[in-house]
Amino acid sequence: GENVEQHPSTLSVQEGDSAVIKCTYSDSASNYFPWYKQELGKRPQLIIDIRSNVGEKKDQRIAVTLNKTAKHFSLHITETQPEDSAVYFCAANSPRNSGNTPLVFGKGTRLSVIA
Amino acid sequence: EAQVTQNPRYLITVTGKKLTVTCSQNMNHEYMSWYRQDPGLGLRQIYYSMNVEVTDKGDVPEGYKVSRKEKRNFPLILESPSPNQTSLYFCASSYGGRVTGELFFGEGSRLTVL
């Protein structure tokens, strides 16, 4: 089955700097790669996702890049703000003939933005 | 309001006392799933269901049971809870079908087994 590795486990940046979180996956059939943000004491929420037919996707200060050949994808946050402080999870699916497939999550990255 | 509702939100119980964590969604989603979250281990899938009466094991199913008798409900059952099941549990749902889509999470249920 799918295995997702996420690095780093913790990341501290100064406000205004950029943050990058990287993930690798093992199943070459995976075609959906979302990123979730979990603020302290809250539920995970989707912030951006990418499908395998594109290499990059942007939404304001966040972007995700995908390298299918190398089987890795990354989250980029520019001009970080204190409210970006949270745990971020990457995930990948494992397509099967039966249809919608479970997501396998990375272990998470705790991002701290220092004002 | 579209939502996934879990109950109870907090529970302290003792080893061996059967308990059920309920999950209900009002978005007509086909796909539902249970995850547990432990420090340093991320979100690990316990069970999932692609539709009514269709359930399958995730990565850590031992000690848990589920059922999907109705589309909106997906309860998680701990027949004989043990301390290693102390964790934060999340129910989640999505539209289903052949294309994986956004997972909507409930608020979480924090379980302590003494």
Chain segment B33-77, per-residue pLDDT in tens: 999 999 989 999 999 998 899 999 988 999 999 999 999 999 999
Interface probe with A: pick from B9, B34, B43, most Cβ of A within 10 Å = B43
Eight-state DSSP code of residue A34: E
pLDDT score, position A57 = 94
Burial B18-32 (b: 16+ CB within 10 A, else e): ebebebbbeeebbbb
Grade residue A7 by pLDDT with cuts at 50, 70 and 90: very high
Q: How far lies B14's CA from each of A60, A92, A102, B45, in Å?
A: 48, 36, 31, 24
Q: Which chain A residues are within 8 Å of B98, Cβ to Cβ?
A: 99-100
**A29-75: per-residue pLDDT in tens?**
898 999 999 999 999 999 999 998 889 999 999 999 999 999 999 99
Q: Which chain B residues are within 8 Å of A37, Cβ to Cβ?
A: none
Interface probe with A: pick from B23, B94, B100, most Cβ of A within 10 Å = B100
Do residue B100 and residue A100 have CB atoms under 8 angstroms apart? yes
pLDDT score, position B95 = 87
Do residue A45 and residue B105 have CB atoms under 8 angstroms apart? yes
Q: Which chain A residues are within 8 Å of B101, Cβ to Cβ?
A: 32, 100
Residue whose C-alpha is closest to residue B89's, from B48, B45, B25, B27: B45
Q: Which chain B residues are within 8 Å of A36, Cβ to Cβ?
A: 103
**How many whole angstroms separate alpha carbon B25 and alpha carbon A87?**
25
